[in-house]
Chain A
Amino acid sequence: MTLLGLAILSTRYYMVDLPVWHFLGGGEGPDPATLHLRGEFVESNLGAAQGPAGSLTMRMIAQQYVFVPQCIVVPAGVPVHFRITSADAVHLLSFLGTGYGLKAVPGAVTEATFTFDKSGDFKIPCHEFCGAGHYAMRGRLEVVPRDQFASLLPDERRTCGPR
């Protein structure tokens, strides 16, 4: 029983929370060096994207030493699907005050669906030591009521930071 448990536990590499076979397969995720050239993480595709049936997908890049987009806006009480990757080292987005966190791993897409119930401004500091500018690496999350989010322009919905 213990052996079985260990076997199940060891299928995920604890440092980056990825299945072990991710490292054996090789090259299935986006190449960190060419994120800006092709694939879903080109700069015009970053930020919130509204899919069919009102689903919300948030694509972000973590890199030394900024998150892109640096400011994101989401509606309260709506599940937001995050797709995150890193351009260099391992970073961790820690959504302060909401209890959520998400690791950004170079060469892999980390996915999770979060629902933010409380509206307000939240900080997203990097919570994994990534280098010299780590302590100043910080994003911003704005959770707004649903009707306010619906009244935003498409460009304002994508990101609330510099474009």
Chain B
Amino acid sequence: MGHVSQTTLLRITIPCFGTLALLFMALALFLSGSDSSAQPGNPGPAVRVPSNVAWTHETIAIASGGNAFRGLLIARRCNHCHGEEGFSSVPIIPNLAGEDQLSFWKQMQDFRSGKRISPVMQGVADRLSARDSADLAAYYSMLPTAGDPHDSRAFPQAMQDPSRARIAIRLIVFGDGQRGIPPCQSCHGPVAYVKGAPPIANQNGSYLLDQLEHFANGYRTNDINVRMRSIAGQLTEDEKMAVSEYYGAGLGPGVNPR
């Protein structure tokens, strides 16, 4: 036993280290495995939060307590795309005139936090504080929605296929009870409103179609409690086109323009 060469020692110790390392790894795996299953309420996959905004009393107070004059000054940097009167000249960019304060503020927060993906708006919203967004919301909510012949607005655009109007009216006014699709006007007005749901009577059709498709294919996921995703996911291509074209033509029900 006194005479053991160095190579023999190496041959014994290397496998020993290997087994030890394996043991440690198995132990670590076992510990981490038991750790995650120890919490009974753990849903397993990571918790997905659609939006950091929740309609508590404090949030509603912040979002609706903006200063419209300050908003007017900030809005000078939005005019280039969204139009000086809140109506954009490109139908794919949304109109902001007459926008609901809460929904405007929520979208700005979601752009900032990356919950709603838009390469353009994320950069813009990053530079605006929560108060700036509230001021802008107050300003845009006060802009008149009546038509202006001297303006280069894209809204309204005639329907490409007027025969689709019947599909649109049915969905907007009645929804589809068989599939569980509520009528558009029961949340987006004028019949009833839901907090955070924008009025869409003065919205561009191409923008609406984009959003419906994004909700349906999971690109846009910032609707609280999967509301719009459940609805848009059930609409057929024809129905999406019909509803968005109908609203984009200025035919959708809404409050009278100021």
Contact = CB atoms under 8 A, between A and B. Distances in A.
Contacts of B152: none
Interface string B210-236: 000000101000001111011111100
A25 to B, nearest CB: 20
Contacts of A33: 54-56
A133 B52 CA distance: 26
Which of B41, B54, B175, B180 lies at the interface centre, i.e. has the most chain A CB atoms within 10 A of its CB?
Answer: B180
A161 B230 contact: yes
Interface in A120-148: 125, 131-133, 135-140
Interface residues of B, number: 41
Interface string B73-89: 00000000000000000
Which of A63, A70, A87, A140 lies at the interface centre, i.e. has the most chain B CB atoms within 10 A of its CB?
Answer: A70
A63 B183 contact: no
Contacts of A70: 180, 230, 234
Given A36-B54, A70-B230, A65 B187 contact: yes
A162 interface: yes
Contact of B180 (A35, A46, A67, A163): A67
A113 B192 CA distance: 34
B222 to A, nearest CB: 10
Interface of B is mostly: loop
Interface in A40-70: 40, 42-46, 49, 61, 63-70
A45 B43 contact: yes
A140 B56 CA distance: 31
Given A34-B54, A37-B54, A61-B225, A162 B49 contact: no
Interface in A7-58: 31, 33-37, 40, 42-46, 49
B186 A132 contact: yes
A153 to B, nearest CB: 14
B225 A44 contact: no
Which of B182, B186, B216, B232 lies at the interface centre, i.e. has the most chain A CB atoms within 10 A of its CB?
Answer: B182
Nearest to A64: B194
Nearest to B52: A37
A40 B39 CA distance: 12
Given A34-B56, A63-B225, A66-B231, 17 more contacts: A43-B226, A44-B45, A45-B43, A65-B187, A66-B227, A68-B225, A70-B230, A132-B191, A133-B186, A133-B192, A136-B181, A136-B186, A138-B177, A138-B180, A139-B180, A162-B230, A162-B234
